[in-house]
Amino acid sequence: MRKVGVILLSGGLDSTTVAAYAKRQGYQLRAITLRYGQKHGKEVQSARKVAQELGVKQEIIDVSFFRKLAWYSALTSPQDFEVPRLRNSHQMAKDIPITYVPLRNTFFITIAAASLESEALSLIENGKVNPAELEASIFIAANAIDCSGYPDCRPEYYERMTQALFEGSKLGTQYKIMINIQTPIILKGKADIVRLAMELGAPLEYTWSCYQGGEIPCGQCDSCILRAKGFAEAGYDDPLLVKKGWQDC
């Protein structure tokens, strides 16, 4: 079976873990990292280093126009909205926070699917690969447990998106190949994700999860709090903090 895959790599803990997982599964893997007008560029820098460490070919694509469309978010309009700080798990679960970027994952998946379908069609129509021997997967680090309630991080969303890609693609309608959307950590808590990452040897020391773009993680945003909680519960020191000498941050 020829297995081709695309990983949406943000440079954070979760997507780095999923990238390491996909590589372990034997996929001919490419990483796509998107500049969508997010608040800072540190995660893109991290994604570049992670891809290098994993030996995965990476495409960094500028889609910064998306910021003008999905402007109602603290991540795309930091001048207008503040990132929530020092929230507990109950507060995080209460509603969908202002860090939600409207339809971001839908946009990202569409881009990944277009790239993956192009590659798959080329293998079939130019490379003479038997469609029955081809598997195509998008990997995304969606998580329904520690997701701050984002609606595009839920299993039912990905089930419907997978069906939509089948119905709306040549790969699906002509060659009957499903563009799978694989979400291997969607039902894992942050501690379980940390454990999986450590088992896979994922290069976590190069990752960046903080919503802020400072020299060190802020330690106060939802993402920092969830990351710290995950490492503490898993019983590991955060390799990023250890590498940089930031253990006390």
Per-residue confidence (pLDDT) for residue 249, from 0 to 100: 46
| pLDDT for position 145 | 83
- Domain edges within the chain: 2-244
pLDDT at 172 over 80: yes
Q: What is the DSSP letter of 214?
A: S
pLDDT of residue 221: 85
| Residue corresponding to tokens 């990132």 | 83
**Which ranges in the chain belong to alpha helices (H)?**
13-24, 42-54, 66-69, 89-94, 104-125, 155-167, 170-173, 190-200, 222-234, 239-244
Residue percentage of the chain with pLDDT more than 90: 76
pLDDT, the chain, mean? 92
**Nearest residue to 57 (alpha-carbon basis) of 4, 104, 110, 106:** 4
- Global pTM value: 0.92
pLDDT in tens, 79-97: 999 877 766 665 655 678 8
**Contact between 61 and 31 (Cβ < 8 Å):** no
Share of the chain above pLDDT 70, in %: 93
119-137 mean pLDDT: 98
220 vs 108, more confident: 108
Q: What is the pLDDT of residue 39?
A: 63
CATH 3.40.50.620 fits 2-244, yes or no: yes
Range in 4-8, 75-79, 164-168, 210-214 with the lowest mean pLDDT: 210-214
Cα separation, 211 vs 218, in Å, equals 8
